[in-house]
Amino acid sequence: MKLKSIVAWSLAGVICLNLIGCSDGKNKETQSAVREDQTAENDFPAPVELSISTFRVGTHSAAVAEARYFKEFQEYYNGVDRQKITLKVEEMPSDEEYYNQMKIRAASNTLPDVFEGKDGVLELAVENGIAVDMSKYVNADEQYKKELGESTIAFGSDWEDGGLYNISYGLQAIGYFYNKEMFDKAGISPAKTWDEWTSNLEALKASDACKAPLSMMTGENGWTTNLILASIIGTSEEAGNRFMNTRYVDTYQTPEVMDAFSQIQEMLQEYSLPDAVGSDYATAANHFLNEDTAIIANGPWMTPDFSDPDKAAEGFDQKVGVALFPKNGAIYQLERGYSIAKSTKEKEDAAFKFIQFKTNAYGQTIHLEEAGVLPLTSDIQMSEDYKQNNPHVAELVELLDTIEYKYQTIDTISYPTAISSLGTLYPQLVDGSLTAEELVRLLDDAAAKDASYKNE
């Protein structure tokens, strides 16, 4: 039986996205971005400085969005029209460094005022009692509550005590991108089954249409490779789909997971470039943008790169197609989002104002406009102008209506120690010193070393 989704917080409403026009920090949309009680003239709360760390800098796909948030928030909370809130921003070179640092800080109670909780960070903060329950803030603002949607609130409240410790900022919906010219040369179209996927890879390899069919990677978090891995498991009928929708799985030693790693082994050995072993995301992305490879698994935030003259040749965006994974599968999950570290009431109140600014309807449009992150609810619809200027995102949204299997990323369902171990396990899988059966046993061992193992 094929599953529409077994995720309790399924987000079917995203199909009718609506884009509010982009504008500067002093326009009408920004002025209504955060609703506050009216205060007497010059009777604002005392100024507050918030500490925030971010990895969305430099060439990161969301760097423009992040800079825009900071600029507009500072302009809005300026001490003239309303309270003055100053952002003290610490920039980090990568998401890996960010989450490694946040785990250390969560353990030592030195988190910044606003933090993101992926990779076990929020679990540590909740366990240590230093994450703020934001229910009182959200319940006090019905309009904001509506803009978040019931699914977002349920996702952020999925804790034993029901506290709302996290507010998501967008939806991840991920298939893959492919080079239409290369597919035409190889005489293929997007695969409907995994057997056809393998046949397509072989056809691309035999056609000399590209240097290698796939943009894969085993460095960093193995992102593009793990998206394919998750999709093989997630479309493996009921058992595999249940596995890919289970938060913190008990064991990787299942037939579906072992088969998926066997297929990944073949893809890395036969259909990827040699530097896939050990390479990072930038390398994998550049291979696709430079037309070395025909396929990359990734989300809509990558689409601006297709027409960026600094990253791809002129006209490359016209060559790119969008597809769901075989068996009409797709990653479909909420982003982890933002949390508040316990502090003074004044800082916690200001921190929530910042989170609200980033996640309300206006904030969601910034994520969509600048970073290709899909909004949380159908209250935000995509304009015709946006569709014309962002055809790949529009095409993906149309495809979402045909999804038969929805599932999460392997990062989301796994203990962080298990994911971290893949960086050393994948190279051994590729050189043949590990079998898929041996790899999943080692994954179980790595998961058992996590501080939160079976404590949720």
Comparing C-alpha atoms, which of 382, 449, 447 is closest to residue 247? Answer: 447
Structure tokens belonging to residue 439: 């790899």
Structure tokens belonging to residue 219: 């460095």
Burial 98-129 (b: 16+ CB within 10 A, else e): bbbbbbebbbeeebbbbbbbbbbbbbbbbbee
d(CA 36, CA 215): 47
Comparing C-alpha atoms, which of 375, 336, 330 is closest to residue 227? Answer: 330
Domain boundaries, the chain: 25-169+335-379, 172-333+406-448
- More confident of the two residues 212 and 33: 212
Is 116 in a helix, a strand, or coil? strand
Residue 397's pLDDT is 86
> pLDDT band at residue 59, thresholds of 50, 70 and 90?
confident
Comparing C-alpha atoms, which of 83, 14, 104 is closest to residue 351? Answer: 83
Residue 449 CA from chain centroid, whole number: 25
C-alpha distances in angstroms, 308 versus 74, 115, 323, 390, 439?
Answer: 29, 30, 21, 13, 39
Residue 276's pLDDT is 97
Average pLDDT, the chain: 89
- Rounded to an integer, the average pLDDT of 1-14 is 36
What CATH number was assigned to the domain covering residues 172-333+406-448? 3.40.190.10
Please check the confidence at residue 21 and state whether its pLDDT lies above 50: no
d(CA 150, CA 326): 30
Burial 226-240 (b: 16+ CB within 10 A, else e): bbbbbbbbbbbeeeb
- Rounded to an integer, the average pLDDT of 412-436 is 94
C-alpha distances in angstroms, 124 versus 130, 165, 348?
Answer: 9, 12, 19
* Residue pLDDT, tens place only, 391-406: 999 899 889 889 999 9
Q: Quote the DSSP letter at residue 210.
A: S
Structure tokens belonging to residue 209: 């249409």
C-alpha distances in angstroms, 401 versus 326, 332, 435?
Answer: 15, 12, 37
Please give the share of the chain, as a percent, with pLDDT higher than 90.
74
* Residue pLDDT, tens place only, 69-100: 999 999 999 999 899 999 999 999 988 899 99
> pLDDT band at residue 456, thresholds of 50, 70 and 90?
low
Cα-based angle 361, 366, 371 (whole degrees, multiple of 5): 130
**Strand spans (E) along 167-278:** 171-179, 212-214
- Four-CA torsion 40, 41, 47, 53, nearest 10 degrees: 90
Q: Are 209 and 185 in contact (CB under 8 A)?
A: yes
- Rounded to an integer, the average pLDDT of 136-164 is 94
Is 427 in a helix, a strand, or coil? helix
Structure tokens belonging to residue 71: 């600029």
What CATH number was assigned to the domain covering residues 25-169+335-379? 3.40.190.10
Enumerate helices (H) and strands (E) in the chain, giving the number of each: 20, 10
Is 413 in a helix, a strand, or coil? helix
Question: What is the C-alpha end-to-end distance of the chain, expressed in Å?
Answer: 30
- Rounded to an integer, the average pLDDT of 259-268 is 98
Please check the confidence at residue 14 and state whether its pLDDT lies above 90: no
Comparing C-alpha atoms, which of 310, 274, 277 is closest to residue 293? Answer: 274
- Rounded to an integer, the average pLDDT of 109-135 is 94
Residue 363's pLDDT is 93
DSSP secondary structure of 73-106:
HHHHSBSSSS-BEEEEEEE-S-HHHHHHHHHHHH
Comparing C-alpha atoms, which of 406, 405, 407, 385 is closest to residue 394? Answer: 385
Residue ranges of alpha helices (H) inside 77-190 are 95-108, 121-127, 135-139, 142-148, 150-156, 180-186
d(CA 174, CA 194): 17
> pLDDT band at residue 455, thresholds of 50, 70 and 90?
low
Please check the confidence at residue 31 and state whether its pLDDT lies above 50: no
Residue 184's pLDDT is 98
| Equal CATH topology for 25-169+335-379 and 172-333+406-448 | yes
Q: Are 365 and 375 in contact (CB under 8 A)?
A: yes
